[in-house]
Structure 1
Amino acid sequence: MNTTRTHEQWNHQRIYEEYSAHIHRYFRYRVKNVWDVEDLTTTVFVKVYAKLDQYDRRHPFGAWIFRIAHNTLVDYLRKKRECPVDTETFAAMKANDKLPEERLLNRESHDALWKNVRTLSADQRRVISLRYLADLRMNEIAKILGKSEASVKILHFRGIRKLQQLMAAQG
């Protein structure tokens, strides 16, 4: 994602093209219903377009958009009160260009990984999902979550370390 442009240099189509896939993937990981994922993605861009004049150029544009996406997800989850992850969706996020046996082993690994991700703290889960599913940098995640970059790095490190320990213990 290119975060060096200012919003004056973008039209709505370019903003959508630059960020829609990342936003959609972020929601797809967190929300079970495909229709809700589409609605949430659309809602984010409606909010972004309506608030472009409020964008503070001192911060990365991508972090600003993901802050809107994160807040939209939080509002949605409060209303729905649902478990924010579907294991099958999480497992299906990888390309299916492997042999059936490899896909089965891969799926089992993803299932085990997700089972372990659920044991992390809520903050660690948020950091890991924004880092690996939304493909954001640590400074962008810090702005989205309203935390210091150092605390985000610590959450990330501890979460990854715990996942490594759990996966190693499971063989």
Structure 2
Amino acid sequence: MTTAIMYPKLNHQQIYEDYSAKIYRYFRYRVKNVWDVEDLTTTVFIKVYSKLEQYDGRHPFGAWIFRIAHNALIDYMRKKRESPVDQDTFSNMVATDKLPEECLLNQETTEGLWDKVHTLTKDQRNVIALRYLGDLRMNEIAEILGKTEASVKILHFRGIKKLQQLMTEQA
């Protein structure tokens, strides 16, 4: 894990390499327009670079960056009044080297799962997205969402339990 003291010494390219794919994936799940996703990702890194000296190291660096990303997404959605992407767009993001039959089965399962994610509460959807698309730990998610780690764990647990129940009913 990278510490706060290490990042100010690293160049902007290293920060971008470490976090750009995760930030992009987080936005791609939530925003329909690919160009807007790219703009949002760029905006986040501009803000990160301009505020890098303000990072105090009290929280994990990844949580700090995702807090900036989360706030940028909220601002974007307020301006655009946009809803999350359609299922076809999201399921096409998965890249595999599997046989076509496996890809189709995997895509159907993924589509079914993400259809079910949209039935969860807003907080549960945010936790699931940050956990599995942003690849963040619970304490980082709590920091980003401004909640306690315990409440994030409860939201995650209940969301996963509800998804398991819905997927079992479907099978």
CA distance in 2, matches of 1:20, 1:96: 21
CA distance in 2, matches of 1:103, 1:133: 19
Report what 1:125 is aligned to.
125
CA distance in 2, matches of 1:64, 1:72: 13
CA distance in 2, matches of 1:81, 1:40: 15
Report what 1:3 is aligned to.
2
Q: Percent identity?
A: 74
Offset at 1:5? 4.0
Structure 2 residue 166 is matched with structure 1 residue 166? yes
| 1:61-88 per-position Cα deviation (integer Å, ceiling 9, x unaligned) | 1100000000000111111111122312
CA distance in 2, matches of 1:113, 1:57: 36
Report what 1:29 is aligned to.
29
Unaligned runs of 5+ in 1: none
Matches within 5 A, 1:1-171: 2-6=1-5, 7-171=7-171
CA distance in 1, matches of 2:157, 2:93: 23
**Cα pair 1:30 1:84 within 8 Å, conserved:** yes
**Cα pair 1:62 1:140 within 8 Å, conserved:** yes
Q: Which amino acid aligns with 1:124?
A: Q
Name which of structure 1's ranges 156-165 and 84-93 shifts more when overlaid on structure 2: 84-93
Offset at 1:119? 0.5
CA distance in 2, matches of 1:169, 1:41: 37
Name which of structure 1's ranges 97-106 and 52-61 shifts more when overlaid on structure 2: 97-106
- The count of corresponding residues between Structure 1 and Structure 2 is 170
Name which of structure 1's ranges 90-99 and 136-145 shifts more when overlaid on structure 2: 90-99
| 1:21-64 per-position Cα deviation (integer Å, ceiling 9, x unaligned) | 11111111111111111100000000011111211211111100
| 1:104-141 per-position Cα deviation (integer Å, ceiling 9, x unaligned) | 22111111111110110000000000000000000000
CA distance in 1, matches of 2:75, 2:143: 18
CA distance in 2, matches of 1:18, 1:99: 31
CA distance in 1, matches of 2:51, 2:84: 27
Q: Which runs of 4+ in 1 moved over 4 A?
A: none
Q: CA RMSD in A?
A: 1.2
Normalised by the length of structure 2, the TM-score is 0.95
CA distance in 1, matches of 2:2, 2:135: 13
Unaligned runs of 5+ in 2: none
Name which of structure 1's ranges 157-166 and 14-23 shifts more when overlaid on structure 2: 14-23
Q: Which amino acid aligns with 1:15?
A: I
Q: Which amino acid aligns with 2:157?
A: F
**Cα pair 1:124 1:156 within 8 Å, conserved:** yes
